[in-house]
A and B are shown apart, each in its own frame.
Chain A
Amino acid sequence: MNGRWDVVVVGGGHAGVEAALAAARLGAATLLVTGDPSTIGRMSCNPAIGGLAKGQVVREVDALGGAMGLVADRTAIQFKVLNASRGPAVRGLRCQSDKALYARELRRVVSSAPRVTVAAGTAAGFAVDGGRLAGIVLEDGTALGCRAAVVTTGTFLSGLVHVGESRREAGRWNEPPAKSLSAALAALGLRLGRMKTGTPPRVAAGSVDVGRMQRAPGDERPVPFSFRSRGERFPAQPQVDCWLTHTGEKVHDLVRESLPLSPLYSGRITGRGPRYCPSIEDKVVRFPEKTRHQIFVEPEGLATDWLYLNGLSMSLPPATQERIVRLILGLERAEVLRPAYAVEYDVVFPEQLDVSLETRALPGLFLAGQINGTSGYEEAAGQGVVAGTNAARAAKDLGEPLVLRRDEAYIGVMLDDLVTLGLDEPYRLLTSRAEHRLLLGADSAYARLTEKAVAFSLVTAEAAAPILEAEARHARVATALEASRVTPDRTTRERLAADGIDVVEETTLAGLLRRPDLDAASLRAFLAETLDEEARVDLAALDAEALGRVASELRYAGFLPRERQTVARLKRAGGRRIPRDFVYRGVPGLSLEAIEKLERHRPGTLGQAARIPGVTPAAAALLLARLLVKDRGAAA
């Protein structure tokens, strides 16, 4: 064996980088091996980080000490909070990134991280010793000895790029795929599937008439992803606009006419594509009543001419694509720099993993990112942190893996969904997947995860100190607001009337903030006047987002206790652990279908078992009965 690593990470995308950085934070000697190290951190598809549910994940990655949020803050050229008019639990932080700057900054973070080494190479197989992973074997025959590995192949695992009728073996546009690894994974007994994703055309900025489009500016007061950005210049880059235009009937007619040329519809692409990110072919076929679809025109960077046509992914031939693009308002003379293309790749069905992301087929082997059937940079990064952490813990015998619960993090929702539900399309996080959505706002990510991050050595106590101090301040302000009475005497009423606020009944400052018609920012002055000196200092230290969180927690209060109760109840029944070696064939009354599903998924808890498709509530009840009998037997 060549070298002796604690952890080898295969792949340098958003999952691989976070995995390597997390493993290194835990003290593991980590090697990141990738086909071409100059492509580390590349954004393959859209030039954006965050979004609905995804923005929350970026915050969670940040709370776990990851790089994504900080790098996004340093390289973003537009910030925009989605759902800004709605409650904080469903707001999504999102930014447009300068792709080149993003990748360069991420490479800088990787190269300056202690204990991380980068090497060029394409993984081809696994060395196994005594039933455990012992190393990664490269295509040139080099064996990299290690105690644990994280494989993050993205779209490169037997990747096949389709452009119209033509196709070639590639993981991205013209980058060679990992061809041998699929067979090596299958040889371990893992079941592989095939999925598809697509990316829209890029056009030259100089050839586009944005004057005919709608301006889509960023927020006037950008909100950073990372807590650590508070100490830096922010925003770090000049901010720019995006543009909005639409397809029309002419586009739809041409798409319909050209369907026989689309490999999606001619059957040449067999992998399943995502429903939430449909191609223009899908949109036209499935929603014939829609007369137009939106296209966001997004710059890929400050120093580049490339524009990304968000909403126009397709797999039609380049000549047809050009005709379609030029039927769109403002794009009549657009020069297509790169046509839209689709990529098919292999995935490992994730129900073969534990929620720690370790494969059951080969202890020591962890998988993260698109190989697990997800899509999205943020989903990849979230898995990377968990897989890297757990690979390091396995390598260094640090004990129980890091597991995030469904009521604790979107990452927890995602991992539980992946290993429990299985997949039939690429998985993207959505807030509606989270039954405890109100608990999982981006504004509470640090409150939810910092303690765990410190306990698992992902964040140093020193780095956590300002976060914990901010949390303490938050709690003090909340208490002070509840304690400050507001009496509707003449002075108070006149004072509040000046701010357009009407108060009739005696209340507290917290009571005012609970009112759905009032927003926290407009009350700030009155709060400061009314609070005592000490609380006033704390209040002054809260930024707009933190003050908004105080208000939202007051407003959600009537809803949160119930959510928490549900959590507690589910934890009692659903949290019941099922032993790994549980014999399902011994449970009377369990149908053969349920037995097969349960044996394939090997759920860790009864809650997971009940969520497996094909496991009926009746089957779950039979399982519970059996577990109770076993418990009683063990107690006796």
Chain B
Amino acid sequence: MSPLAGDRERGDDVLVAPATPPGVSALAVVRLTGPAGRTLAVARLLAPDFPADAEPRRARLVRLVDAEGRALDRGVALLWAAPHSPTGEEVVELLCHGSPGVVRGLVDAARAAGARPAERGEFTRRALANGKLDLAEAEGLAALARAESRGAARRALGLVEGALSRRVYDARERTLDALAALEGVLDFAEDVESEEARRAGEELAAVAAELAAVAASSRAAGERRPVVAILGRPNAGKSTLFNALVGRDRAIVTATPGTTRDAISEAVEIAGESVTLLDTAGLRDAAEEVERIGVDVATRAGENADLVLYVVDAQIGMSEEDEGFLGRGRGETVVVLAKADLLPPSPPLTFEENLSSDVRRRAVVVSAKTGLGLDTLRAAIAARLGLVEAEGELLVLARHKEALETAAALLAESAALAADGRDAELVAARSREALVALGAITGETATEDLLDRVFSAFCVGK
């Protein structure tokens, strides 16, 4: 056993893990975390040029070697000293070329030196245990790793950087201040003026309103990705539209009606959000069994989708059959008039006349071939799905949103009780429940903080 090996049970062993995904890439990062001294010692077996007195946070060009000391790569080593590191422990990051062989060689060398390969989430768990992250921030980190779109990533980063935590801490601070005034009155009846308690009620109302606003503008992460199904009669141009939105030839396109049988799904980004796009079989009374099954699948997909793009060949216009299918759809529908490039230039779009005014309002004219109308269609999808991000929107988990709403409701209730001139202990009871709800987000309790505040704010005691 290497002298550098720690005790897993005690949690004082050095962990090693690639921080980048497997496969070939320009760069890869291998990360070590563990007790001060031993972590650097393990790293120095992998990067012998890395000095024992390396300056933290200063990148250094190093030679990287394998377990036998043979050269593997040239890379960069970076030391993070405890506790100012991502995990709160000593951390060394080794940046190497993104070759699976180099990464494996480094991890194996670290293991030979006594480090243990980290399990999934173990770096985060150490950060959490060392108080580097609060609960909401750790959850943000997990959400960031899973983010499928730019919007989701940006909001998750906000969570990691404490956007939600900051709002919660702020609300918690202000609630604690207000509560301290109430508690001061209750516990030191003879010393604290009750004027303070009256002002507390107003402050609670303000905090309640703010939390309600935060909850309302919050998006719960991990919510299902919205599904957009493309429906329409055979050969209306569904697959061409699908490919145009996906950005590559994913679906097979032929002139033969009924080419698409099964539903094809692909994730696409619309307005910075990830959306599942479904291409389906053309809707008609099919004779052949496989195609009939395809039609059934399409019909069901249309029923379950959050939004249906109903594609109509612009040259043909709406048929009675189309009206029939449209009438059956349950969710939101956007009518897409496809193949606009094939229309005679003038007089323009007379076919609109055979559309009902209701359908006309929902119709978007596109040409997948020329790109005409695609941006308009994307905007229409984003608008219908509510993808457009509100100013200052926060990513939260479902439990955060619930806790925010609970806290807002409880604070509003305590503010109302205070306004009615009800007893301070009832106002305090509700405010305390609100603090418990807020504490559930970041993981804190209130009593000791509260007392500190009472004592620092009021001259109490005889």
Residues on A with C-beta less than 8 A from B448 are: 421, 613
Q: Is the CB of B447 within 8 A of A432?
A: yes
Q: Is the CB of A433 within 8 A of B447?
A: yes
Residue on B nearest A616 in the bound complex, by CB: B131
Residues on A with C-beta less than 8 A from B188 are: 52, 276
- Quote the shortest CB–CB distance from A292 to chain B (angstroms): 10
- List CB contacts (< 8 Å) of B424-462 with chain A: 424-426, 428-430, 432-433, 436, 443-445, 447-448, 450-451, 454-455, 459-462
Partner of A275, one of B135, B433, B455: B455
- Quote the shortest CB–CB distance from A429 to chain B (angstroms): 10
A437 interface hit (Cβ, 8 Å):
yes
Partner of B432, one of A86, A294, A435, A622: A435
Q: Is the CB of B11 within 8 A of A589?
A: yes
A431 and B187 contact, Cβ closer than 8 Å, known pairs A277-B461, A586-B9, A618-B128: yes
A589 and B126 contact, Cβ closer than 8 Å, known pairs A287-B459, A618-B135: yes
Residues on B with C-beta less than 8 A from A591 are: 11, 129-131
A554 interface hit (Cβ, 8 Å):
no
Residue on B nearest A622 in the bound complex, by CB: B129
A559 and B426 contact, Cβ closer than 8 Å, known pairs A82-B189, A588-B8: yes
Q: Is the CB of B429 within 8 A of A618?
A: no
Q: Is the CB of B429 within 8 A of A438?
A: yes
A87 interface hit (Cβ, 8 Å):
yes
A430 and B187 contact, Cβ closer than 8 Å, known pairs A87-B426, A585-B10: yes
Residues on B with C-beta less than 8 A from A595 are: 10
Residue on B nearest A516 in the bound complex, by CB: B422
Residues on A with C-beta less than 8 A from B426 are: 87, 438, 556, 559
Partner of A286, one of B138, B425, B445, B459: B459
B12 interface hit (Cβ, 8 Å):
yes
Residues on A with C-beta less than 8 A from B135 are: 617-618
Residues on A with C-beta less than 8 A from B460 are: 276, 278
Residue on A nearest B131 in the bound complex, by CB: A616
CA distance A611 to B449 in the complex (A): 12
- List CB contacts (< 8 Å) of A270-308 with chain B: 274-278, 283, 286-287, 290, 293-294, 296
Residue on B nearest A558 in the bound complex, by CB: B426
CA distance A437 to B425 in the complex (A): 8
B191 interface hit (Cβ, 8 Å):
yes
- List CB contacts (< 8 Å) of B352-380 with chain A: none
A562 interface hit (Cβ, 8 Å):
yes
Residues on A with C-beta less than 8 A from B10 are: 585-586, 595
Partner of A53, one of B12, B187, B462: B187
CA distance A282 to B59 in the complex (A): 51
Q: How would residues 589 to 623 of chain A score, 1 for a CB under 8 Å from any chain B CB and 0 otherwise?
A: 11110110000000000000011010011110010
- Contact size range, B: 35 or more
A90 interface hit (Cβ, 8 Å):
yes
Q: How many residues of A contact B (CB 8 A)?
A: 55
Q: Is the CB of A52 within 8 A of B189?
A: yes
Partner of A52, one of B186, B422, B433: B186
A83 interface hit (Cβ, 8 Å):
yes
Q: Is the CB of A433 within 8 A of B461?
A: no
A616 and B443 contact, Cβ closer than 8 Å, known pairs A294-B191, A559-B426, A591-B130: yes
CA distance A293 to B458 in the complex (A): 12
- List CB contacts (< 8 Å) of A391-443 with chain B: 421, 430-433, 435, 437-438
- Quote the shortest CB–CB distance from A593 to chain B (angstroms): 9
CA distance A286 to B433 in the complex (A): 31
Q: Is the CB of A432 within 8 A of B187?
A: yes
- Quote the shortest CB–CB distance from B2 to chain A (angstroms): 20
Residues on A with C-beta less than 8 A from B196 are: none
CA distance A276 to B460 in the complex (A): 6
- Quote the shortest CB–CB distance from A387 to chain B (angstroms): 24
Q: Is the CB of A516 within 8 A of B420?
A: yes
Q: Is the CB of B433 within 8 A of A278?
A: no
Q: Is the CB of A589 within 8 A of B129?
A: yes
Q: Is the CB of A90 within 8 A of B461?
A: no
Q: How would residues 572 to 591 of chain A score, 1 for a CB under 8 Å from any chain B CB and 0 otherwise?
A: 00000000000001111111
Residues on B with C-beta less than 8 A from A92 are: 189
CA distance A53 to B425 in the complex (A): 13
Q: Is the CB of B455 within 8 A of A276?
A: yes
CA distance A617 to B138 in the complex (A): 12
Dominant secondary structure at the A interface = mixed
CA distance A590 to B125 in the complex (A): 9
Q: Is the CB of B186 within 8 A of A90?
A: yes
- Quote the shortest CB–CB distance from A166 to chain B (angstroms): 26
A142 interface hit (Cβ, 8 Å):
no
Residues on A with C-beta less than 8 A from B323 are: none
Q: Is the CB of B461 within 8 A of A275?
A: yes
CA distance A286 to B458 in the complex (A): 10
B249 interface hit (Cβ, 8 Å):
no
Residues on B with C-beta less than 8 A from A556 are: 426
CA distance A296 to B455 in the complex (A): 20
B170 interface hit (Cβ, 8 Å):
no
Residue on A nearest B446 in the bound complex, by CB: A435
Residues on B with C-beta less than 8 A from A619 are: 129
B423 interface hit (Cβ, 8 Å):
yes
CA distance A267 to B13 in the complex (A): 44
Q: Is the CB of A296 within 8 A of B462?
A: yes
Q: Is the CB of B454 within 8 A of A432?
A: yes
Residue on B nearest A83 in the bound complex, by CB: B189
Q: Is the CB of A310 within 8 A of B129?
A: no
Residues on A with C-beta less than 8 A from B138 are: 618
Partner of A83, one of B128, B186, B461: B186
B183 interface hit (Cβ, 8 Å):
yes
Q: Which of A89, A296, A431, A588 lies at the interface centre, i.e. has the most chain B CB atoms within 10 A of its CB?
A: A588
CA distance A595 to B420 in the complex (A): 48
- Quote the shortest CB–CB distance from B439 to chain A (angstroms): 8
Residues on B with C-beta less than 8 A from A538 are: none
Q: Is the CB of B186 within 8 A of A274?
A: no
A335 interface hit (Cβ, 8 Å):
no
CA distance A556 to B422 in the complex (A): 11
- List CB contacts (< 8 Å) of B194-222 with chain A: none
A585 and B189 contact, Cβ closer than 8 Å, known pairs A294-B462, A617-B443: no
CA distance A294 to B450 in the complex (A): 24
Q: Is the CB of A562 within 8 A of B433?
A: yes
B190 interface hit (Cβ, 8 Å):
yes
Q: Which of B130, B186, B448 lies at the interface centre, i.e. has the most chain A CB atoms within 10 A of its CB?
A: B186
Q: Is the CB of B186 within 8 A of A86?
A: yes
- Quote the shortest CB–CB distance from B332 to chain A (angstroms): 40
A430 and B432 contact, Cβ closer than 8 Å, known pairs A86-B425, A87-B425, A592-B12: no
A164 interface hit (Cβ, 8 Å):
no
Residue on A nearest B426 in the bound complex, by CB: A559
Residues on B with C-beta less than 8 A from A47 are: none
17 contacts between A and B (CB under 8 A): A83-B186, A86-B425, A90-B423, A90-B425, A274-B461, A275-B461, A278-B460, A431-B183, A432-B451, A433-B447, A437-B429, A563-B429, A587-B11, A588-B11, A590-B11, A591-B11, A592-B11
Instruction: Please name the 9 residue pairs, one residue from A and one from B, whose CB atoms are nearest each other, closest first.
Output: A617-B443, A87-B423, A311-B462, A432-B183, A618-B128, A287-B459, A277-B461, A275-B455, A276-B461
Question: Contact residues of B with A, CB < 8 Å?
Answer: 8-12, 122, 125-126, 128-131, 135, 138, 183, 186-191, 420-426, 428-430, 432-433, 436, 443-445, 447-448, 450-451, 454-455, 459-462
